[in-house]
């Protein structure tokens, strides 16, 4: 057995130096990771709102009746929580007595996310903290919603859709729905085409 070869291990100083370097690199990456996660939260919120709109549109086309997407926020929670609901509009018929109702699950936005309705003059969503889910608020249904017809088109009721040309301007800060997040300067902009009911979104810095 050859004992002339001795495997040399790390000294305590060398190990401490390596650990120090790892800690420095990790600390330097935290701000970048935080920014990345906040941007992802905005993007995920855009996806949630888009999914709700796509679901209401698909249901309207498939079932040949009208559905609404109702935009809410629960201000009783801390922080307040953005919520999206789908409402089945009652049929208008002399032979059918039907009450409108919410259908499916309430879609909830991540903590720290808030949004305003650009088509309604950039106002906050309906505060549903006191709303009975079994008895939808007439105010929410009439004034904080977008309605989808059986042909897939979208109606903004008494309000006006923000034009796609304004949405397409880089940094223009104009859209049918504008989503923000605490501590994040970027925003998520959502556009809904009235003719087709199709939805697109983007995340970008306003004013640039």
Burial (CB < 10 A; 0-12, 13-18, 19+), residue 198, is middle
Using a pLDDT cut of 90, give the percent of the chain over it.
66
**pLDDT score of 7:** 54
Higher-confidence residue of 9 and 132: namely: 132
**Side-chain-side CA neighbours of residue 113 (13 Å):** 27
Report yes or no on 198 lying in a domain: yes
Higher-confidence residue of 22 and 123: namely: 123
Higher-confidence residue of 147 and 25: namely: 147
Listed range (53-57, 156-160, 170-174, 193-197) with the worst mean pLDDT? 170-174
Report yes or no on 5 lying in a domain: no
Using a pLDDT cut of 70, give the percent of the chain over it.
83
Overall number of domains in the chain: 1
Contact of 129 with 76, CB cutoff 8 Å = yes
Is-cis flag, bond preceding 174, omega within 30? no
- Average pLDDT of the chain to the nearest whole number: 87
Report yes or no on 117 lying in a domain: yes
Report yes or no on 2 lying in a domain: no
pTM for this entry: 0.80
Average of pLDDT values for 121-138?
95
Of residues 63, 8, 49, 28, the one with CA closest to residue 203: 49
Report yes or no on 73 lying in a domain: yes
- Token reading at 187: 């925003």
Q: Kind of pairing, strands 67-74 and 145-148?
A: antiparallel
pLDDT band at 32 (very low <50, low <70, confident <90, very high): very low
Domain that holds residue 64: 15-204
Contact of 36 with 203, CB cutoff 8 Å = no
pLDDT band at 160 (very low <50, low <70, confident <90, very high): very high
Higher-confidence residue of 194 and 91: namely: 194
Report yes or no on 30 lying in a domain: yes
**pLDDT score of 174:** 95
């Amino acid at each position: 057995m050859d004992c002339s070869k001795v495997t040399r291990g790390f000294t305590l100083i060398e190990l401490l130096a390596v650990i120090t370097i790892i800690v420095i690199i990790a600390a330097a990456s935290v701000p970048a990771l935080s920014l990345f996660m906040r941007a992802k939260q905005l993007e995920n919120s855009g996806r949630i709102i888009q999914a709700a709109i796509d679901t209401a549109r698909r249901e309207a086309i498939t079932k040949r009746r009208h559905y609404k997407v109702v935009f809410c926020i629960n201000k009783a929670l801390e922080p307040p929580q953005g919520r999206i609901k789908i409402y089945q509009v009652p049929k208008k018929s002399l032979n059918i007595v039907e009450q409108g109702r919410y259908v499916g699950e309430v879609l909830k936005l991540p903590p720290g996310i808030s949004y305003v309705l650009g088509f309604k003059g950039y106002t906050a969503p309906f505060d549903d903290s006191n709303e009975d889910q079994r008895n939808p608020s007439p105010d929410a249904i009439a004034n904080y919603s977008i309605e989808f017809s059986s042909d897939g088109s979208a109606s903004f009721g008494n309000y006006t859709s923000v034009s796609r040309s304004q949405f397409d301007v880089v940094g223009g800060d104009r859209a049918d729905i504008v989503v923000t997040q605490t501590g994040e300067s970027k925003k998520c902009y959502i556009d809904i085409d009235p003719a087709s009911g199709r939805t697109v979104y983007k995340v970008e810095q306003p004013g640039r």
